[in-house]
């Protein structure tokens, strides 16, 4: 067993949105932080959500007003600190006769949402009659249509990049980030956290000295706690949610749609996303393996049927699905009651019965991660008896939010990319796209694009490895350059990416081939057949 000479105030287990957000806040407040993930960053739940930064209109039905208010406040905050990643999204709710939620109830919900959004800078809702909505969305089902409500929320196209930017901010404030390191033992001495042990990809174990541990392992929270000396009751009892991704279809709307499923009355989103449509989600109690969760055929059929019902000309079939993904909401464990009624509020649980200094995060949403992080670091400061500086995350821009206009000027002046390529680069890296151009300017071979369409710059591959701790082809394709989420899952670019990565990392021919196989296997696993 190796031992790391460094000693940390806090070790954060899990580099999803919550772990990354806590790392940024803790490091900015002067704590010595290490983040460990058993996989790549953002390879768990945070990559399989509906990608909405939303108040959660639905939570109003369950009287969760504080959660809606908190979410709406955080929505505004994220649009400020990560405006390059989080955009406003107009959402329509069609109203059909005989639906569980009638016009009056939806109107009431809209008014409450507007009141709770007060001062939050997005336009208020409006109500359309049948002709009004048909004029705007001719493809919408005629039968029983009474009208629609329209309101605004926000969307983070690439949640992966939001996680990355939180980690980068943490790193520049002094945090150490280690991916592909599984925490396998949490050690306790005289009732306090003393150290933990992690195992890297080669199986080599390292012990590090830590004063506190934040278990931000999402649905794996209970599994991580098994690495501690005393066992506790189950905290997390997740529900599975799946999405399908399809291309443009006949009668497709320009706005996002939020529809009540005929099958079970649940809300289903049909969201314009990444030049495709993201359709989801399901909500099914889940107690199976947490690794490699896949959308089932029943879930896929449910999502196709509901979309075809609301947009009858779509006639979507399995063959129209580009890919699908699924994950488990890390919700508080409840044995009984409907899945949709389980609270979406987060719980920051102090595990004092195991050890002083151990905290577990249960639940949470992408939307509220920043506030969750602030509350967690306040708690850590008390546990560590540190007088903590004030939290600065609500008004400190994330790294890519700086210099976006300047980056656009640089990109246009460089003439390396098409207009589409410039927009794409800025939507992924924000102002940090300037650093990619700098890299390309230092090496002419990195100035070419990966194919002839002028969209993907060769320098991005090296940037992912040098600046964004990518270590595998799958990291680069699915969670750095984001081409894995294109309609063809970026397949036409795999070889070009592999050649550049192999040279940079010095892979042998065998390793390059294995990396390619792993990438294709991963992409295939998201296909629906």
Ligand X SMILES: Cc1cc2nc3c(=O)[nH]c(=O)nc-3n(C[C@H](O)[C@H](O)[C@H](O)COP(=O)(O)OP(=O)(O)OC[C@H]3O[C@@H](n4cnc5c(N)ncnc54)[C@H](O)[C@@H]3O)c2cc1C
Nearer to ligand X among residue 181 and residue 497 (C-beta):
181
Alpha helices in 101-189 (DSSP H): 103-116, 130-136, 159-172
| Residues 6 or more apart in contact with residue 356 via CB below 8 angstroms | 191, 192, 193, 383
Nearest approach in angstroms of CB 7 to ligand X is 19
Nearest approach in angstroms of CB 154 to ligand X is 10
**Does 18 contact ligand X by CB under 6 A?**
yes
Q: Mind spelling out the 3-state secondary structure of 263-293?
A: CCCCEEEEEEECCEEEEECCCEECCCCCCCC
Letters for 228-267 (x = contact with ligand X by CB under 6 A, - = none) are -------------x--------------------------
Distance CA 447, CA 442 (A): 9
Q: Could you say which residues in the range 24-83 bind ligand X, by CB under 6 A?
A: 36-39, 43-46, 48-52, 54
**Does 195 contact ligand X by CB under 6 A?**
no
The answer to whether 155 and 75 are in contact (CB under 8 A) is: no
| Residues 6 or more apart in contact with residue 136 via CB below 8 angstroms | 128, 254
Question: Which of 195, 281, 360, 449 lies at the binding interface for ligand X (CB under 6 A)?
Answer: 281
Letters for 300-329 (x = contact with ligand X by CB under 6 A, - = none) are ---------------------------xxx
Q: Is the dihedral of CA 381, 382, 385, 390 positive or negative?
A: positive
Nearest approach in angstroms of CB 384 to ligand X is 21
Question: Which of 29, 101, 266, 365 lies at the binding interface for ligand X (CB under 6 A)?
Answer: 365
Nearer to ligand X among residue 182 and residue 351 (C-beta):
182
**Does 370 contact ligand X by CB under 6 A?**
no
Nearest approach in angstroms of CB 42 to ligand X is 7
Distance CA 147, CA 56 (A): 22
Question: Which of 55, 218, 253, 357 lies at the binding interface for ligand X (CB under 6 A)?
Answer: 218
Stretch that binds ligand X, among 7-15, 80-88, 424-432, 501-509 (CB under 6 A): 7-15
| Residues 6 or more apart in contact with residue 302 via CB below 8 angstroms | 261, 263, 282
Distance CA 151, CA 103 (A): 14
Nearer to ligand X among residue 376 and residue 512 (C-beta):
376
Letters for 133-172 (x = contact with ligand X by CB under 6 A, - = none) are ----------------------------------------
Question: Which of 10, 99, 324, 366 lies at the binding interface for ligand X (CB under 6 A)?
Answer: 366
Distance CA 226, CA 80 (A): 39
Question: Which of 10, 11, 12, 16 lies at the binding interface for ligand X (CB under 6 A)?
Answer: 16
For residue 158, give Cα distances in angstroms to 1, 17, 494.
Answer: 38, 12, 20
Write the burial class of residue 119 (CB in 10 Å: 0-12 exposed, 13-18 middle, 19+ buried): exposed
Q: How far is CA 40 from the centre of its chain?
A: 13
Residues forming the site for ligand X (CB under 6 A): 13-19, 36-39, 43-46, 48-52, 54, 182-183, 216-220, 224, 241, 281, 327-330, 361, 364-367
């Amino acid at each position: 067993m190796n031992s790391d000479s460094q000693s940390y105030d806090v070790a954060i287990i899990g580099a999803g949105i919550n772990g990354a957000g806590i790392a940024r806040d803790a490091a900015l407040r002067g704590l010595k932080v290490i983040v460990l993930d058993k996989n790549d960053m953002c390879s768990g739940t945070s990559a399989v959500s509906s990608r909405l930064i939303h108040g959660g209109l639905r939570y109003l039905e369950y009287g969760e007003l504080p959660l809606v208010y908190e979410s709406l406040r955080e929505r505004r905050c994220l649009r400020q600190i990560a405006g390059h990643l989080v955009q406003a999204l107009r959402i329509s709710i069609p109203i059909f006769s005989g639906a569980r939620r009638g016009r009056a109830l939806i109107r009431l919900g809209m008014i409450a949402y507007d009141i709770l959004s007060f001062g939050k800078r997005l336009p208020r809702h409006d109500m359309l009659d049948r002709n009004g909505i048909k004029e705007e969305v001719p493809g919408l089902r005629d039968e029983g249509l009474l009208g629609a409500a329209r309101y605004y929320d926000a969307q983070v196209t690439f949640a992966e990049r939001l996680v990355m930017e939180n980690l980068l901010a943490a790193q520049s404030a002094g945090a150490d980030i280690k991916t592909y390191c599984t925490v396998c033992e949490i050690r306790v001495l005289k009732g306090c956290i003393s150290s933990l042990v992690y195992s890297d990809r080669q199986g080599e174990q390292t012990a590090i000295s830590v004063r506190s541990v934040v278990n931000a392992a999402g649905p794996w929270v209970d599994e991580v706690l098994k690495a501690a000396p005393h066992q506790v009751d189950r905290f997390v009892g997740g529900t599975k949610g799946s999405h399908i991704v399809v291309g443009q279809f006949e009668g497709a709307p320009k706005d996002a749609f939020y529809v009540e499923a005929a099958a079970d009355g649940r809300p289903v989103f049909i969201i314009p996303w990444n030049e495709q449509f993201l359709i989801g989600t399901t909500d099914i109690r889940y107690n199976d393996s947490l690794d490699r969760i896949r959308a089932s055929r029943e879930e896929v059929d449910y999502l196709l049927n509901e979309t075809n019902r609301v947009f009858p000309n779509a006639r979507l079939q399995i063959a129209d699905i580009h890919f699908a993904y699924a994950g488990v909401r890390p919700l508080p464990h409840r044995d009984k009651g409907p899945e949709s009624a389980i609270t979406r509020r987060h719980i920051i649980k102090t595990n004092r019965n195991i050890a002083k200094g151990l905290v577990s995060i249960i639940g949470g949403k992408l939307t509220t991660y920043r506030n969750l992080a602030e509350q967690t670091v306040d708690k850590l400061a008390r546990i560590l008896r540190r007088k903590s500086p004030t939290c600065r995350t609500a008004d400190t821009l994330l790294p890519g939010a700086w210099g976006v206009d300047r980056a656009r000027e640089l990109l246009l002046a460089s003439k390396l990319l098409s207009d589409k390529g410039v927009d794409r680069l800025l939507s992924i890296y924000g102002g940090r796209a300037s650093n990619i151009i700098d890299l390309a300017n230092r090496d002419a071979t990195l100035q070419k694009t990966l194919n002839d369409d002028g969209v993907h710059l060769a320098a991005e591959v090296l940037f992912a490895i040098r600046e964004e701790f990518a270590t595998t082809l799958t990291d680069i394709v699915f969670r750095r350059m984001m081409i894995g989420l294109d309609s063809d899952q970026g397949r036409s670019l795999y070889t070009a990416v592999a050649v550049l990565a192999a040279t940079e990392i010095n892979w042998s021919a065998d390793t390059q081939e294995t990396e390619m196989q792993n990438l294709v296997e991963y992409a295939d696993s998201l296909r629906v057949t």
